[in-house]
A and B are shown apart, each in its own frame.
Chain A
Amino acid sequence: MAITLTETAANRVRKFLANRGKGIGLRLGVKTTGCSGMAYTLEFVDDLNTEDMVFESHDVKVIVDPKSLVYIDGTELDFTKEGLNEGFKFNNPNVKDECGCGESFTV
């Protein structure tokens, strides 16, 4: 399995990285918090940790630590617009249930 980006998401990430002027890729992760157990994190990456897993999707490096990977393996990250709002969305096949807003989830 792996982590992938949709083409729209990849284009956005490349644009944001270029605007930021530094960074080697995008980190996806989870942390145990939130109203429904786990929450996603999405960060720029400047330095790799030794245990990090690196995937490549549409020329963007996607970095995940092994602990997070078990919760999000197979995830596809998309970039969408909802009304005036826009942002990234996790399509995570491992999710059993999520809180109303979708910011946290259980597996």
Chain B
Amino acid sequence: MALLQISEPGMSSAPHQHKLAVGIDLGTTNSLVATVRSGLAAVLLDDTGHALLPSIVHYAADGQIDVGHSAQLQQTQDPQNTLLSVKRLLGRGLLDIGNIEHLPYHFVETPGMVQVKTRAGIKSPVEVSAEILKALKFRAEQALGGELTGAVITVPAYFDDAQRQATKDAARLAGINVLRLLNEPTAAAVAYGLENAAEGIYVIYDLGGGTFDVSILRLAKGIFEVLATNGDSALGGDDFDRRIFCWILEQAGLQPLEPADTRLLTTKAREAKEWLTDHASANITAVLSQGEVIDLHLSQSDFHAMCQQLINKTLLPIRKALRDAELNVEEVQGIVLVGGATRMPQVRHAVSSFFGREPLTNLDPDQVVALGAAIQANVLAGNRNDNDLLLLDVIPLSLGLETMGGLVERIIPRNATLPIARAQDFTTFKDGQTAMSIHVLQGERELVADCRSLGRFELRGIPPMAAGAARIRVTFQVDADGLLSVSAQEQTSGAHADIVIKPSYGLSEEQIVDMLQSSFSAAETDKRARMLQEARVDAARLLEAIEAALRQDGEALLDANEKAAITTHMENLRQLTQQEDSDAINKAVETLNHATEHFAARRMDASVRKALAGQALNTLEL
């Protein structure tokens, strides 16, 4: 029996037409999926009760792909085939990624986006992210009992075009229909229902496992605008673990350790940090592989002193973001804490003393982003009749084009509200010039060389004119997902050219098609598994029927030879069902059917005879 959820008045859907929509927080360290059921947003748990899916993918030697906790276990044994934090690589080139020497992977530099060599072949971060999304999609479909209509996936507010497009490609590869990409801070604000609150300025402080982001949102007439974002992509909860880890080494006077011991002590460090959230002190005990015994005592005040500098590092981006938004601390109406690391009391104190008010903390900081995405997905899928929750985001980086001399002319300034279209007129540089190359760029710097190239196209068919006489209107348009299209039109002749920016991060349309195709090959294995299962069920049903018939009439209607023949066939079929060949099973089913035809005919005759026995022909109702 299908389980029902409560709908809004008048919004009940027809059977089998539920619009199942989820919100996905595709995180650097952990990912989550949430949905709205009976009006309540909740995170979906996996079958072991975990909400967080570690964003880790392991390519095993036997071709299996593990995602999440099972992949995490492989991290130390098989680091080169266990990919974590791929979100940092999404839509990035090798040069964009700092600290590459700390990562144990074999990077392959391809034009645009970096790729990683694993035993399963060269994998792009898009493919790896798709594996994570597939696992979340599977979890959601298990929990909701149907196919997903679509998902809202969150991205950091500072993600550029290439990174957003890469996220969308990953979703497409995972077979997820993306209803909207949503900025993470906006999702957090939605989770707290701030859209119903008074108008004002809100700060979202997001200290995750490995990244720190701060975003300033303005709420006006139920609409969110991201005024500014800032952060530190190499600062997170892991750094606090590392501080404790180093403190342990120092206190115990240990030399650099073996990997297994490093892992053990890192875990102990994290446990101590989590313990200190609610307790005044923590005991750290461990026995290392060489037999050394660690027995230390860490007080909250010592820990506080240790991480003061890390916490101060989060305040600088806040000041920068406030300056970008031209705001004072006093103008901030509320602060939302996001990310597991904000559970640390030191972080809460630092934030509340910086802003002079208590932050919002009543939702689980690990879950807020996914919950907000779920609420937005529910609206976009059409499960709510009021369409008041319309979200507006802003452009993270300015968009412009190249002009003479390698300079950048800005068309859309950063922090402009989405969706947006802006046009600007340009002209020709030389007499008789009939074509113009348009180079689209993203970034805040003045020189082309310092900005990120998003794409180029050519406008041809400009009528020959004196230099400066042609009027070429270039229009930049950015849709609600933050994706850009650029068009150019010569005003007198109407010559026109345009480009949808498929950012040059390395995945061409063909590559995506290839990847989709390879996901179809998985569909083939899925289909085979299904056929096998169906054949087994058929076989089991037949065997059961014949057994029952034999019990009933076997003695009376069959001689020993006939019975033996049937049981041999049955035994044969039973053996085949243990194996994997669905064709063989189907064939054996047919053989068995055939072998029992006589028996079936005799049973039919016998039952007809029994029914007719002792009745005169004219009393039968025919």
CB within 8 Å for A41 and B39 given contacts A101-B16, A104-B15: no
Judge whether B5 and A42 touch: CB under 8 Å: yes
User: Does A46 make an interface contact (CB < 8 A)?
Assistant: yes
Interface residues of B in 13-47 (CB under 8 A from A): 14-16, 37-40, 44-47
Separation of A34 and B44 alpha carbons in the complex (Å): 28
CB within 8 Å for A84 and B143 given contacts A16-B40, A19-B40, A33-B15: yes
Judge whether B5 and A84 touch: CB under 8 Å: no
* Chain A residue nearest in CB terms to B144: A85
- Which B residues lie within 8 Å of A99 (CB)? 15
Interface residues of B in 94-123 (CB under 8 A from A): none
Q: List 21 A-B contacts (CB under 8 A).
A: A29-B12, A34-B14, A40-B4, A41-B7, A41-B12, A43-B8, A43-B10, A44-B39, A82-B3, A83-B47, A84-B142, A85-B143, A87-B5, A87-B38, A88-B6, A89-B1, A89-B3, A90-B4, A101-B1, A101-B2, A101-B16
A86-107: CB near B (< 8 Å → 1, else 0) gives: 1111100000001101111000
- Which A residues lie within 8 Å of B139 (CB)? 84
Interface residues of A in 15-57 (CB under 8 A from B): 15-16, 19-20, 26-27, 29, 31, 33-35, 39-47
Separation of A20 and B9 alpha carbons in the complex (Å): 12
Judge whether A102 and B2 touch: CB under 8 Å: yes
B281-303: CB near A (< 8 Å → 1, else 0) gives: 00000000000000000000000
User: Does B11 make an interface contact (CB < 8 A)?
Assistant: yes
Judge whether B47 and A44 touch: CB under 8 Å: no
Judge whether B3 and A80 touch: CB under 8 Å: yes
Separation of A85 and B42 alpha carbons in the complex (Å): 12
CB distance from B168 to the nearest CB of A (A): 27
- Give 5 closest A-B pairs by Cβ, nearest first: A87-B3, A102-B1, A103-B15, A41-B12, A84-B143
Judge whether B3 and A42 touch: CB under 8 Å: no
- Which A residues lie within 8 Å of B142 (CB)? 83-85
- Which A residues lie within 8 Å of B15 (CB)? 33-35, 39, 99, 101, 103-104
* Chain B residue nearest in CB terms to A13: B6
Separation of A11 and B2 alpha carbons in the complex (Å): 20
Measured CB to CB, the residues of B under 8 A from A are 1-12, 14-16, 37-40, 44-47, 139, 142-145
Given A42-B6, A43-B12, A104-B15: 18 more A-B contacts, CB < 8 Å: A16-B40, A39-B14, A43-B11, A44-B7, A44-B8, A44-B9, A82-B3, A84-B44, A84-B142, A84-B143, A85-B3, A85-B142, A85-B143, A86-B37, A88-B6, A99-B15, A102-B1, A103-B4
Judge whether A42 and B7 touch: CB under 8 Å: yes
CB distance from B292 to the nearest CB of A (A): 44
- Which A residues lie within 8 Å of B40 (CB)? 15-16, 19-20
Among B4, B10, B14, B16, find the residue whose CB has the most chain A CB atoms closer than 10 A: B4
Judge whether A19 and B39 touch: CB under 8 Å: yes
CB within 8 Å for A86 and B3 given contacts A16-B39, A45-B9: yes
CB distance from A66 to the nearest CB of B (A): 18
CB within 8 Å for A103 and B2 given contacts A44-B39, A84-B139, A84-B143: yes
* Chain A residue nearest in CB terms to B196: A21
A5-16: CB near B (< 8 Å → 1, else 0) gives: 000000011011
Separation of A98 and B142 alpha carbons in the complex (Å): 23
Judge whether A44 and B6 touch: CB under 8 Å: yes
Judge whether A12 and B38 touch: CB under 8 Å: yes
- Which A residues lie within 8 Å of B144 (CB)? 85
* Chain A residue nearest in CB terms to B10: A43
CB distance from A15 to the nearest CB of B (A): 7
* Chain B residue nearest in CB terms to A102: B1
Separation of A13 and B3 alpha carbons in the complex (Å): 14
- Which B residues lie within 8 Å of A84 (CB)? 44-47, 139, 142-143
